């Protein structure tokens, strides 16, 4: 556990460095460390770094990789962090000018669909996905249609009037 903390701190300190290859690989390396990090490092420190990368980095592939990583580590986050971070992060990704980041946002919603309440699906997630059905990029539209078919269909179909 100490080794994971030291390695995390080393990776976290490397995130602000300006080299693009390092920034592209940093979120991917966190996939291996996420299950071993303590709650403070995972739910606070890592989410701060990911929020900064996703919102402020000018490189589209870095924002995309950060969104993909969030989708993969979502189940390791605490319930309060999941509720606060995932929906806003994936919604932000769907507004990204870089089309693969928009696709990553859709895939992030699909990968973590079991972590949201029915209320969140109806009021926060589905409106975002509906807006993407008319996205100018065909790959984004296709991914929304594909994602729409499986995770949300069961949830929406279970609602009784």
Distance CA 113, CA 125 (A): 9
How many angstroms separate the first and last alpha carbons of the chain? 50
Model pTM score: 0.81
Query: Taking 70 as the threshold, does the pLDDT of residue 11 lie above it?
Result: no
Query: Taking 50 as the threshold, does the pLDDT of residue 160 lie above it?
Result: no
Distance CA 64, CA 79 (A): 23
Distance CA 141, CA 24 (A): 25
Query: How much is the CA Rg of the chain, to the nearest whole Å?
Result: 16
How many other C-beta atoms are found inside a 10 Å radius of the C-beta of residue 77? 22
Residues 6+ apart with CB under 8 A from 37: 4, 5, 8, 46
Question: If we measure between CA atoms, which residue out of 40, 28, 30 comes closest to residue 8?
Answer: 30
Query: Taking 50 as the threshold, does the pLDDT of residue 156 lie above it?
Result: no
pLDDT in tens, 114-145: 898 889 988 999 999 999 999 999 999 999 98
pLDDT in tens, 51-94: 988 888 888 998 999 999 999 999 999 999 998 899 999 999 99
Distance CA 53, CA 111 (A): 21
What is the token pair recorded at 69? Answer: 């990583």
Percent over 90 (pLDDT), the chain: 46
Mean pLDDT of the chain: 82
């Amino acid at each position: 556990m100490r080794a994971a903390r030291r390695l995390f701190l080393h990776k976290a300190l490397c995130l602000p460095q300006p080299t693009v290859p390092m920034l592209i690989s940093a979120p991917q390396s966190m996939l291996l460390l996420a299950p071993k990090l303590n709650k403070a490092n995972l739910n606070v420190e890592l989410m701060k770094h990911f929020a900064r990368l996703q919102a402020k980095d000018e490189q589209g592939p870095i924002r995309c990789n950060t969104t993909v990583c969030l989708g993969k580590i979502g189940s390791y986050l605490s319930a309060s962090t999941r509720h606060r971070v995932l929906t806003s992060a994936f919604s932000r990704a769907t507004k990204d000018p870089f089309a693969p980041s928009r696709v990553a946002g859709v895939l992030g919603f699909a990968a973590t669909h079991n972590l949201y309440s029915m209320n969140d699906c109806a009021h926060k997630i589905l409106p975002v996905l509906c807006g993407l059905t008319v996205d100018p990029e065909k790959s984004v539209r296709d991914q929304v249609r594909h994602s729409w078919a499986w995770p949300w269909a069961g949830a929406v179909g279970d609602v009784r009037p």
